[in-house]
Amino acid sequence: MSVLNGVSYGLLLFMLSAGLTLIFSMMGVLNFAHASFYMLGAYFAYQVSSWSNFWVGLLIAPILVALLGGLFERYVLRKTHKFGHVPELLVTFGLSFVILEIVQLIWGRTSVDYPVPPSMSGSLFKVFDSTFQMYRGFMMLVAILMLVCLFLILKKTRIGLVIQAALTHPDTTEALGHNVPRVFAIVFAAGCALAGLAGVIGGNAFITEPGMAQSVGAIIFVVIVVGGMGSLAGALVASLLIGLMQTFAVGLDWSFAGGLARLGMDITAETPGYSLLKLKLSQVAPILPFLLLVVMLVVRPKGIMGTRDD
């Protein structure tokens, strides 16, 4: 059960970080507003599904997000390209502010009611007393489908080849007659669409509110650093690792104090460093990804599957 929960959460993280990694490896741009596109996906899906139903939202919301992403790339981001990577990062940073404000302006500052579709809220199967919701299974299915599609497009199609070529040799690709800026815009839009898709299925599994972007933003950065900058496979491994790690850590009430007590030491509130020793593993579970980041940087700075060591 924990494995399933961990994997489904990990796969959602992967959907989010896949788009980010794709954009980063292609264009060298770290899209700070990536999580904001995730949020937009959730809100669009909420809006569309309140007019018609969830399935229409699932289809339309990512397309809308991709459109916005493409427009942003074409009319704003491209203009800063000549200034270098720092202004590019800054411009997406500014965008995340503006998106947040506009979302609050349109949909308000509190959460909206974006429910799991009734056909999906039933139980898929039961382990002991606890049920595994059908929707979580659906989440995993979408993520895996997306992974397969992404793989096939990148490896098997012509456009995938052009993208890979533009990634490593933009000038040569341009010389061969391909419109590299347009490829960039498409990639950026596609990356945003993936974030939007994650928003559509993450927004109702969890919660759709203005703080949702900020709360996942930091985690997906951890995923792509730990996985290795620009490596899709690395992002997959890191997402699953983080998903499983967090899920399992919650179940473990280990603490240093408990461990030492078992070794026969007397740990009380007066022991120096008690506040650190008494922390249980389950209490720190949500910040484990950040600890993992620090450990990874000390041990293997290029990440799990990273090739570059800058």
- Which of 132, 154 has the CB closer to another protein? 132
Instruction: Decide: is 47 part of the binding site for another protein (CB under 8 A).
Output: no
- Which of 98, 149 has the CB closer to another protein? 98
Element (H, E) at 231: none
Instruction: Decide: is 3 part of the binding site for another protein (CB under 8 A).
Output: no
Bridge partners for 126 per DSSP: 131
β 123-127/130-133 pair status:
antiparallel
* Least Cβ distance, residue 210 to another protein (angstroms): 7
Residues in 205-264 at the binding interface with another protein, rule: CB under 8 A:
206-207, 209-212, 214-219, 221-222, 224-225, 229, 246-248, 250-251
Q: Assess contact for 194 and 271: CB atoms under 8 A.
A: no
- Which of 59, 233 has the CB closer to another protein? 233
For 13, the token pair is: 């993280």
Q: Assess contact for 205 and 114: CB atoms under 8 A.
A: no
- Which of 63, 131 has the CB closer to another protein? 131
Residues 52, 157, 172, 283: which binds another protein (CB under 8 A)?
A: 283
Chain center to CA of 298: 23
For another protein, how many residues bind (rule: CB under 8 A)? 88
Element (H, E) at 130: strand 130-133
Instruction: Decide: is 73 part of the binding site for another protein (CB under 8 A).
Output: no
Residues in 173-212 at the binding interface with another protein, rule: CB under 8 A:
206-207, 209-212
Distances (CA, A) of 288 to 21, 45, 71, 130, 291: 21, 31, 37, 26, 5
- Which of 43, 60 has the CB closer to another protein? 43
Q: Which stretch binds another protein (CB under 8 A): 41-49, 115-123, 159-167, 169-177?
A: 115-123
Instruction: Decide: is 300 part of the binding site for another protein (CB under 8 A).
Output: no
Nearest to 187 by CA among 153, 229, 217, 221: 153
Instruction: Decide: is 35 part of the binding site for another protein (CB under 8 A).
Output: no
* Least Cβ distance, residue 193 to another protein (angstroms): 21
* Least Cβ distance, residue 154 to another protein (angstroms): 22
Distances (CA, A) of 92 to 16, 40, 69, 95, 124: 16, 15, 11, 5, 40
- Which of 179, 215 has the CB closer to another protein? 215
Residues 169, 233, 301, 307: which binds another protein (CB under 8 A)?
A: 301
At residue 88's C-alpha, the angle toward residues 167 and 305, to 5°, is: 45
Residues in 263-282 at the binding interface with another protein, rule: CB under 8 A:
275-276, 279, 282
φ, ψ of residue 130 to 5 degrees: the values are: -90, 145
What is the rounded CA–CA span in Å between residue 227 and residue 219? 12
